[in-house]
Homo-oligomer: A and B are copies of this chain.
């Protein structure tokens, strides 16, 4: 059976080499501070094994025909894109935020397309290697981190121009059996409790950046890899146990200290062939694209979680039916719907790439992800607005238990006589977690930057959108052109992306 359980996954983690550092110490993957992140991953295993969710969380492998976890699947249809989006939304409700596991499968889908394109154009055999890896990935129901973002040094300089050449991860040595890489990748969510790390390039590369145009996958505890980890977790509860505090995040600053990668795990730049360099940008872009499409699933859920908490606290505060509260809730809901709609529409306008993998529309995906990013801080503002100051001034749980102050606090926290003090307390304690905590800050930043900030989506949209045919509308209406042919904004999926990519890199087919 290729669908694994959480305990199978966790048993794998237990066996891994110790290479996780937190707060100056080398720790086990069973460290308590990693548990909240692992609990997020648990939901992805549990739901695949839950008959209520199996329609969205599992599917059939196009490789083996086996039933697999959808987090291991290469999208074979528009429907697959739609269901992935839906799964993401539904699971996020259960974790109160980011489901984390999407990055692995987003990386795999991007690799499926680009390795195929390379093979076709250059006669390489990356797609075969990729399929072999995918088979293993699906069979073991693996959980992968995608390590994309380089530390980037001086942002005005390209990789090869940096004072320190290691500021982008690079191939330092090419051998018959593989390559040796050096560098660091940052913002690696999930890495300390992932099975695998999939390394992708972070940007377009010029000819001079050839050493930096590299992609591969390795086990997360591989020789030479160090994960310096910052967990973001909630205060434990004493009595008021609640799911919200069981979930958290851990971000890795991942160091590659001259790591050897064997041939079969390399998906780009295995042999130092300069013709592969331009594909780095294409791969970078395509991972970002899949990842942004995943955001059209999770971000709506996050808006809805914030709306849900807002509605609940508005009810408890007795202001649920006032006009301004309705308007603000409706804004949260509207944003959620619009972002989700963008993802669905994007799937609907998706297209099949040469490899068979489906790719969603780029304009729509970016428009959706951008709106989510633009709104994230405003959404927190709405929750803070409706909750009032108490979320930020709530005494600690111990004070609610203490003999000397507990009764007072429970008496004075009471609002609607029909709602128990405990429930009011639970509600505000949760909102405290959502608004006033390390994790709240991380979630805000992630909501803005994860998958690329609104700034990046604007750039992507505008580099793909063809303004010339659009201008034809104005030229026709102004009488500059005599005719207006039937104009439709074309889907911006593989064909268009590839064309632009080839044009840009002057690649002939």
**Contact, CB under 8 Å: A337 / B367:** yes
Tell me if A396 is interfacial: C-beta within 8 Å of chain B. Answer: yes
With the chains together, A430 CA to B436 CA distance in Å? Answer: 17
With the chains together, A53 CA to B411 CA distance in Å? Answer: 46
Nearest CB in chain B to that of A228: its residue: B395
Nearest CB in chain B to that of A151: its residue: B412
With the chains together, A394 CA to B153 CA distance in Å? Answer: 15
With the chains together, A380 CA to B448 CA distance in Å? Answer: 11
Nearest CB in chain B to that of A348: its residue: B344
**Contact, CB under 8 Å: B473 / A24:** no
Partner of A255, one of B315, B412, B445, B489: B412
**Contact, CB under 8 Å: A380 / B444:** yes
> Secondary structure of the A side of the interface?
helix
Q: Which residues of chain B come closer than 8 Å to A501, judged between CB atoms?
A: none
Counting chain A residues whose Cβ lies within 8 A of the other chain, the interface size class is 35 or more
Q: Which residues of chain B come closer than 8 Å to A453, judged between CB atoms?
A: 385
Q: Which residues of chain B come closer than 8 Å to A311, judged between CB atoms?
A: 467, 470-471, 474
**Contact, CB under 8 Å: A430 / B474:** yes
**Contact, CB under 8 Å: B393 / A186:** yes
Partner of A243, one of B305, B409, B477: B477
Q: A23-B398, A393-B186, A478-B242 are in contact. Are A470 and B308 (CB under 8 A)?
A: yes
**Contact, CB under 8 Å: A395 / B474:** no
Residues in A237-283 with C-beta less than 8 Å from chain B:
240-244, 251-253, 255, 257
**Contact, CB under 8 Å: A367 / B381:** no
**Contact, CB under 8 Å: A487 / B93:** yes
Q: A334-B371, A338-B367, A399-B21 are in contact. Are A405 and B329 (CB under 8 A)?
A: no
9 smallest beta-carbon distances between A and B, as pairs: A24-B398, A436-B441, A242-B479, A341-B345, A392-B445, A251-B393, A430-B478, A377-B381, A308-B474
